[in-house]
Amino acid sequence: MDIRAQESPYKGKTGLRRVLNATRYSLAGLAAAARHEDAFRQELFLLAILAPLAFTLGKSAVERVLLIGCLFLVLIVELINSAVEATVDRISFEDHRLAKRAKDIGSAAVMLALLNAAFVWGFIILS
């Protein structure tokens, strides 16, 4: 018996089929975030404005990668935060201390990613 079948009925795909499915699911996730999450759209807009600017402000390839990479980190953390929030809301809209804690921790992660981006941009621009 295939042990993967016991974990989830969706774990059976392998090889190229798995890669294609994963790509399709990932693109659907990005589209859902862009459609339903205001914060994600705002951060995506920030990336669209600042990424081209990174090529002029960064003096080296490493600086450019840091400037753009920290912006992508903000998007990644926002996606995870949005997934946590959607999961908590799917379970219940009822006020619960653990639901609040999960949402607050996700929000804190986004805030730290934004502070990191501000620090990286500030440090590179001022140096």
What are 46's two structure tokens?
């920030």
How far apart are the C-alpha atoms of 59 and 101, rounded to whole Å? 41
Q: Within its chain, how far is the Cα of 75 from the centroid?
A: 4
CB 71 within 8 A of CB 50: yes
94 as an active site residue: the answer is no
Catalytic residue among 37, 78, 85, 94: 78
Please identify every residue annotated as catalytic.
78
